[in-house]
Amino acid sequence: GQSLEQPSEVTAVEGAIVQINCTYQTSGFYGLSWYQQHDGGAPTFLSYNALDGLEETGRFSSFLSRSDSYGYLLLQELQMKDSASYFCAVHNTDKLIFGTGTRLQVFP
């Protein structure tokens, strides 16, 4: 079977740092992506990791450990607009398999 596990909800305050973890078990693996989705909106791409290590894009960073089947998304200097759902997604050949999502609530 294929599964991706994420915490269902995370809360934090403005200016803080939050880490959203993702563990996966899939029959094929080519990389791990992260998507952000605001309520009522479409998923939008944040980052992609194919190799072990940390990828940094502005306030967001994403980490991958292929040997541990684990990755995380790190959000720094949180802003209210970061309140959204965050999905990890495994690239399995040419298709994406999404996790169940983590709802992030940022409080002032």
Residues engaged in binding another protein (CB under 8 A): 4, 31, 33, 41-45, 48, 50, 87, 89, 91, 93-101
Residue 100, class by beta-carbon neighbours within 10 Å (0-12 exposed, 13-18 middle, 19+ buried)?
middle
Q: Given the complex with another protein, which of 16 and 57 has the nearer CB atom?
A: 57
Q: Tell me the closest approach of the beta carbon of residue 17 to another protein, in angstroms.
A: 24
Residue closer to another protein by CB (options 63, 77) is 63
| Inter-CA distances, 5 with 22, 57, 72, 108, Å | 6, 23, 11, 28
Structure tokens at 72: 């995380």
Residue (42 or 58) nearer to another protein, CB:
42
